[in-house]
Each structure stands twice: as C-alpha cells, then as structure tokens.
C-alpha cells in the first residue's frame, strides 16, 4: 500500500506520494479552486486561512482540511 502525505511548511503545500501518481486540488472555504498539484509539484498559498485539499489517485481519493497561518 502506498502512502500519501500532505506536507505544509509555512505557506508552501507539497504532497509526498511515495511514487504513486496523483492529482490534487486545493479549495478555500468559499469553494473556489486555489491551485492544482500533480506529481511532486508544490503550491504556495498566498493567504492565511482554512483550505480543503482533495487528492485523487487511481486507487481512490480523500480530502483533508488544512489551516494556514
């Protein structure tokens, strides 16, 4: 089973996928798409707040809420 981790350092979001291909979309709480990530690409979140990260792989998908200060 492959592991996928969401890594947030400061305001930079990166997803560690352990070799698994994925597509991820980041939404703010208003439901607006903020950025998309695909296979080892980082995204910088410009504003503090609460975001939803949706990660989709061939094996399934999951969502995670993150808080950026």
- Is pTM beyond 0.85 here? yes
User: Whole-angstrom Cα distance, residue 49 to residue 41?
Assistant: 21
pLDDT < 50 positions in the chain: 1
Q: What is the pLDDT of residues 2-21, one digit of tens each?
A: 688 999 999 999 999 888 89
Indicate the class that CATH gives domain 5-68. Answer: mainly beta
User: Whole-angstrom Cα distance, residue 69 to residue 67?
Assistant: 7
């Amino acid at each position: 089973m492959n592991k996928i981790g969401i890594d947030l350092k400061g305001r930079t979001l990166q997803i560690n996928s352990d070799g698994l291909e994925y597509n991820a979309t980041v939404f703010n709480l208003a439901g607006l798409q903020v950025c998309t990530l695909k296979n080892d690409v980082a995204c910088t979140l410009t504003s503090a707040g609460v975001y939803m990260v949706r990660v989709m792989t061939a094996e399934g998908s999951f969502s995670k809420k993150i808080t950026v200060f």
